[in-house]
Amino acid sequence: MPTNAAALFLWPSFVAVVLLLVQLPMAAILLSRLMQGPFRRPPLAPATPDLDLLGTVSVVVPTLNEADRIRPCLEGLIRQGYEVREILVVDSRSTDDTQSVVRAYQAHDPRLRLLEDDPLPQGWVGRPWALDYGFRQTSTASTWVLGIDADTQPQPGLVAALARAMHSEGYDLVSLAPRFILKHPGEFWLQPALLMTLVYRFGPAGSPSGSSQRVMANGQCFMVRRSLLEKLNGYQSASTSFCDDVTLARHAAAQGAKVGFWDGTRLLKVRMYEGMTETWREWGRSLDLKDAAPAAQVWWDWMFLALVQGLPWVLVPGLWILQHFAPVSWSLALQILLVVNMVLIFMRLGMQVAVATAYDLKGAPGAWAFWLSPLADLAAVARIGLSSLRRPTQWRGRQYPVNEP
């Protein structure tokens, strides 16, 4: 057999062996994380407050040009019970009607206060600065400080359920995974694939986190024991972070705090972004979590995603074509590689079914595209890689210096 012909037969098998050596351990890690799903903490259920919770929670809502989105958030908060002592809306000099909207609600609920934070100091990112400013204005009589985003829709019983569970189980910091409200086909196609990058890296919400550097958090609904925030000097440790929620949660866990990330789909809804383009641009900027982890961990996680979430969508059709049309020997290594990647795809499709409860699918005109979202996995993995390469210079209407916070 000529040398070139022999090489044509051998190189696919060699590549298959190399891929198996790196992909199989990653697949085992993924399987170990996803197997926590059936044993994870069940979704937090609504609760009614009792007298022990009276006035124990201060709520802080950071805002910047949220006039079009904040009404459902305020309506949900004022429907919470007497466990909520105060609701502080910290506005960062919005140029729209945010403050007018808040004042209108303020007239109907004395717990609601509108504050304007001080000018953003050098070295701070806007969101943690507003949260820190709000925390320092909260009542010292409150046990808990709940940071909640203006684009959320709190459901009845949210605050009481969270405060009661954290108190009874001894947690110091807990954040909730929400139910997402999407509208358009592009969002339904892309957003679940981006969400899946978090599930693959950290397991389902409600799973134990292990080491402090694998803690996951969601700042859209983020409750902290006030004494812990005092100990941590507020949000100082997350001042430069574009993923301040994860940064603060990991810092707290490293200090010995009991930290949790729970399923809150029964108690919290959120409409994060308008359309696929905004989802790609805004959410994709922080999903790499590079501000909360060493560079080695960021790139290890990206390699992990590339091998178990992205690569199967290339290898399975590629191997099928190779099997049927290329004149190469179909070795055992190639057969195993095909089977492994088909299993990874079936696992991914199963996870799409599993995360369906995290989406408000009823009545949404583009909901059909949710079931095509696995086909966006390559784009999602690419977005994480692109984000990992550079720090944002624009976030929520603010400009930040290049290479500086």
Looking at residue 112, what is its pLDDT?
Answer: 97
- Asked if 172 and 257 touch (Cβ cutoff 8 Å), the reply is yes
Q: Answer yes or no: is 401 within a domain.
A: no
Looking at residue 14, what is its pLDDT?
Answer: 87
- Could you read off the pLDDT of 145-161 as tens digits, one per residue? 999 999 999 999 999 99
Q: Answer yes or no: is 196 within a domain.
A: no
User: 79 with 212, same domain?
Assistant: yes
Q: Answer yes or no: is 88 within a domain.
A: yes
Looking at residue 4, what is its pLDDT?
Answer: 56
6 pLDDT higher than 60:
no
**CA proximity to 340, closest of 23, 13, 3:** 23
- Could you read off the pLDDT of 376-401 as tens digits, one per residue? 999 999 999 999 988 876 766 677 77
| Cα distances (angstroms) measured from residue 369 to each of 3, 109, 129, 360, 374 | 49, 41, 37, 13, 10
2 pLDDT higher than 60:
no
Q: Is 262 left (phi over 0), alpha (psi -120 to 50) or beta?
A: beta
Range of the domain at 228: 51-184+203-273
Listing DSSP states for 49-67 in one string gives --GGGTT-EEEEEEESS-T
- Mean pLDDT, residues 77-81: 96
Looking at residue 286, what is its pLDDT?
Answer: 86
**CA proximity to 27, closest of 382, 347, 373, 316:** 347
Looking at residue 327, what is its pLDDT?
Answer: 59
405 pLDDT higher than 50:
no
317 pLDDT higher than 50:
yes
Confidence of residue 320 (pLDDT cuts 50, 70, 90): confident
Share of the chain above pLDDT 90, in %: 83
Looking at residue 400, what is its pLDDT?
Answer: 76
Contact residues for 125 (Cβ-Cβ < 8 A; gap 6+): 239, 240, 241, 242, 244, 395, 400, 405
For the chain, the first-to-last Cα distance in angstroms comes to 62
User: 17 with 59, same domain?
Assistant: no
Q: Are strands 144-148 and 221-225 parallel, antiparallel or unpaired?
A: antiparallel
User: 106 with 63, same domain?
Assistant: yes
Looking at residue 328, what is its pLDDT?
Answer: 63
* Number of compact structural domains in the chain: 2
**β-strand partners of 359:** 180
From 273, 304, 323, give the residue that closes a domain. Answer: 273
Q: Answer yes or no: is 291 within a domain.
A: no
Could you give the 3-state DSSP secondary structure of residue 173?
Answer: strand
Q: Answer yes or no: is 310 within a domain.
A: yes
User: 63 with 113, same domain?
Assistant: yes
CB atoms within 10 A of CB 198: 17
User: 261 with 324, same domain?
Assistant: no
Looking at residue 321, what is its pLDDT?
Answer: 86
User: 97 with 225, same domain?
Assistant: yes
Contact residues for 136 (Cβ-Cβ < 8 A; gap 6+): 234
- Mean pLDDT, residues 304-332: 87
CATH number of domain containing 231? 3.90.550.10
Looking at residue 143, what is its pLDDT?
Answer: 98
User: 33 with 63, same domain?
Assistant: no
From 273, 306, 326, give the residue that closes a domain. Answer: 273
Mean pLDDT, rounded, of the chain:
93
Contact residues for 258 (Cβ-Cβ < 8 A; gap 6+): 170, 171, 172, 173
**CA proximity to 350, closest of 204, 207, 177:** 204
CA distance 264 to 269: 9
From 219, 242, 273, give the residue that closes a domain. Answer: 273
402 pLDDT higher than 90:
no
Contact residues for 206 (Cβ-Cβ < 8 A; gap 6+): 40, 41, 42, 43, 261, 262, 263
User: 307 with 265, same domain?
Assistant: no
Structure tokens of 123? 């070295």
Looking at residue 1, what is its pLDDT?
Answer: 44
- Could you read off the pLDDT of 126-150 as tens digits, one per residue? 999 999 999 999 999 999 999 999 9
Confidence of residue 285 (pLDDT cuts 50, 70, 90): confident
The DSSP output letter for 224 is: E
User: 225 with 319, same domain?
Assistant: no
Contact residues for 132 (Cβ-Cβ < 8 A; gap 6+): 234, 235, 236, 239
User: 259 with 356, same domain?
Assistant: no
User: 352 with 259, same domain?
Assistant: no
- Could you read off the pLDDT of 32-78 as tens digits, one per residue? 999 998 899 999 999 998 899 999 999 999 999 999 999 999 999 99
404 pLDDT higher than 50:
no
- Asked if 286 and 198 touch (Cβ cutoff 8 Å), the reply is no
Structure tokens of 42? 């069940």
- Asked if 245 and 219 touch (Cβ cutoff 8 Å), the reply is yes
User: 180 with 70, same domain?
Assistant: yes
- Asked if 212 and 253 touch (Cβ cutoff 8 Å), the reply is yes
In 197-295, beta strands by DSSP E = 221-225, 259-263, 268-270
CA distance 152 to 333: 49
Q: Answer yes or no: is 290 within a domain.
A: no
- Could you read off the pLDDT of 332-354 as tens digits, one per residue? 889 999 999 999 999 999 999 99
Q: Answer yes or no: is 192 within a domain.
A: no
Alpha helices in 35-148 (DSSP H): 70-78, 98-106, 126-137
- Mean pLDDT, residues 108-119: 95
CA distance 296 to 141: 42
Q: Answer yes or no: is 327 within a domain.
A: yes
